[in-house]
Amino acid sequence: MGLSYEFDTVDAFTVGTVGRPGQRVFFLQARHAGERVTVKCEKQQAAAMAEHLRAVLNDLPPPDDKPMPAAMELTAPMEPAFVLGAIGLGYERSTDRVLVQLDEFVPVDDEGEPDLEALEDRGRVRVFLTRGQVQAFCEQADSLVAAGRPPCMWCSLPMDPDGHICPRMN
């Protein structure tokens, strides 16, 4: 069995980056009572999580709590437990908590079938978040995604500070 973490409550659940735009690495991090787990993810995964979590929040009453801004910062060490694959989201009405499940990426063969041994041994992180923690996560993810490289006005691809080869301008 791969690494498995489950937090019924967390002190923080956040997304952060290391590196400069165009070379950033995105991480998700959950912390509770001195225990910490970090998962490497893609920018698009963080953006999609925020989008879907915001949809969950839209069906719920506004949150009454919100983490302090310092809680949204990544803390060291940031060695990832695994690379993110599938993401599961849900809402548990009895506890008024949002479930976020992060599963380790599992490679597939040429036919698109997952490696069964890797599938059985994949890591998993399950966290239950308050509505305020979800809202803070969405705001943090939106801010990080927007802080990336600006899009080209002609092709919408990200522009590198060192130059941009625009397919529409060739």
75-93 pLDDT tens trace: 998 899 999 999 999 999 9
Q: Of the candidates 101, 123, 39, 98, which has an alpha carbon nearest to the alpha carbon of residue 74?
A: 39
pLDDT bucket at 168, cuts 50 / 70 / 90 = confident
Give CA–CA dist 15/140, Å, rounded: 7
Q: What is the pTM of this model?
A: 0.86
43-58 pLDDT tens trace: 999 999 999 999 999 9
Whole-number pLDDT of residue 72: 94
**What token pair was written down for 33?**
């009572």
Domains parsed from the chain with CATH numbers = 4-146 (3.30.2450)
